[in-house]
Amino acid sequence: MLTCKILPIQEGNIPLISQALAVQTVNSLYERSPPAHRHYVRAKLRFDPLTDELFALCREAGPWGVLVDAGCGRGQFSVLMAQWGGVQSVWGFDHDLTKVRVASEATSAIEGGAFRYVQGDLREAPIPPSVDTVLLLDVLHYLSLEDQGKILRRFSQVLRPGGRLVIRETGHGLGKGARFAAFFERWGRRLGFNRGEELAFRHSGELEEELRALGLTVSRNAPRGALKNVLLVAQRPKLRPQ
């Protein structure tokens, strides 16, 4: 197993290692995970366009500081971002205890003890009072529209000036790929692969409007991959120098 650690925050020098090496390092952390989880992590990091998108964000957007991985699953993407540098600590939670245990066991080998993954609900799990980054990756659509709004308000309120919500959602209304993504999510829920209470999809434009109403500036990546998923980055304005 490779020696892993939280890499230092160095403004203007991110990412500190290549995408390929970071993926290799993260895969090594899950070598002892049960086979189904180990293979899932490998497939996600290799085939999901989110790996490329997060690498580009780390290269362009600078340090991520205190990071909350809300609905973390097995934690592979927050661990990946930490390997690129600029992450001070990671607080992850998910309602699925099995996935949380996989994330906790995988990160137990990382020096510094800066990772904490626990079981919790997006609507009420304890979170730090002030954070730099919140990941909401493929999780909002498992909740009602009302709860989605509450979650966006909740996490936007704990962002420090300059802090960001990084949201990935299905590109609802963007053609066959998005329809297939919704179909896949529905069957995944029925078969027990994902355990969301319900499914509520909405167009990314609606999400953008809601985020701007919360006082955040929003940028959106073009839909990526066969499923036409969309990545949004919503940022709280930085404080102006006095």
CA–CA dist 19, 17 (Å, integer): 7
pLDDT in tens, 75-109: 999 999 998 888 889 999 999 999 999 999 999 97
Ranges in the chain, pLDDT < 50:
1-3, 7-13, 174, 177, 180, 187, 191
Sign of CA dihedral 126, 139, 135, 33: positive
Q: What is the pLDDT of residue 15?
A: 75
What's the confidence (pLDDT) of residue 11? Answer: 47
Contact predicate 127/68, CB 8 Å: yes
Q: How do residues 102-135 score in pLDDT, each as one tens digit?
A: 999 999 978 777 899 999 999 999 999 999 999 9
Give all domains of the chain, ordered by start, each with its CATH number: 19-235 (3.40.50.150)
